[in-house]
């Protein structure tokens, strides 16, 4: 049974699809594509069906990552479907936890930056209303977080075998 990761931001066109595609890239490099599956979603449905933001795609492409996928909204059943749910910021975290009234899935939900090893930011900033540098910063931050997350998941998978 593959380990399933869900990356969540607000609109699912900038941060979470970037995290999903960076993570898929790192998983493929590690030869673990059959063991770890990724998806992404947004807490809001503003962009449902839209491709990743063009500016985000350009920033990702500079680092060798092609952003694919289309936006969807986070739904309550995602709690059951995924092993880990990674929020880009505290607002996304709070919005998701509001759907989990019982707190049953609280231990599955973490902030993405909890896995950073090089950066000290606690949240992935939303680059949507900023300039090019914000998009580049998000890609750099997400590479760091995804590398840390992959190490954590790989460690967990090794233990559970």
Residue 9 near residue 15 (C-beta atoms within 8 A):
yes
Contact 73, 40 (CB under 8 A): no
Low-confidence stretches of the chain (pLDDT < 50) are none
Catalytic residues: 9, 15, 126
pTM over 0.95: yes
Q: What is the reported pLDDT for 22?
A: 98
CATH domain 3-160 topology: Rossmann fold (3.40.50)
Tens digit of each residue's pLDDT (9 = 90 or more) over 35-66: 999 999 999 999 999 999 999 999 999 999 99
Cβ partners under 8 Å of residue 154, min gap 6 = 30, 32
- Sketch the domain layout of the chain as residue ranges: 3-160
Strand runs (DSSP E) across 3-153, as ranges?
A: 3-9, 36-42, 84-87, 109-111
Distance CA 13, CA 51 (A): 7
The strand ranges marked E within 33-81 are 36-42
Tell me how many degrees the CA angle 130-142-148 measures, rounded to the nearest 5: 155
The Cα–Cα gap between 89 and 99 comes to 16
Say which residue the tokens 């941060």 belong to: 15
Residue 102 dihedral angles phi and psi, to the nearest 5°: -80, -20
| Size (the chain), residues | 161
C-alpha distances out from residue 119 to 16, 140, 144, Å: 18, 9, 7
């Amino acid at each position: 049974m593959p380990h399933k990761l869900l990356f969540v931001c607000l609109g699912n066109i900038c941060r979470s699809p970037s995290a999903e595609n960076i993570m898929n890239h790192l998983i493929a490099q590690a030869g673990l594509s059959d063991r770890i599956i990724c998806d992404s979603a947004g807490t809001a449905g503003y962009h449902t069906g839209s491709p990743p933001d063009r500016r985000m795609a350009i920033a990702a492409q500079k680092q060798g990552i092609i952003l694919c996928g289309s936006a969807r909204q986070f739904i309550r059943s995602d709690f059951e479907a995924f092993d880990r749910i990674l929020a880009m910021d505290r607002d996304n975290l709070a919005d998701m936890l509001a759907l989990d009234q019982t707190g049953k899935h609280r231990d599955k939900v973490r902030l993405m930056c909890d896995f950073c090893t090089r950066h000290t930011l606690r949240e992935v900033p939303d680059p949507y209303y900023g300039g090019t540098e914000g998009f580049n910063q998000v890609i750099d931050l997400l590479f760091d977080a995804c590398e840390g997350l992959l190490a954590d998941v790989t460690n967990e998978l090794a233990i559970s075998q």
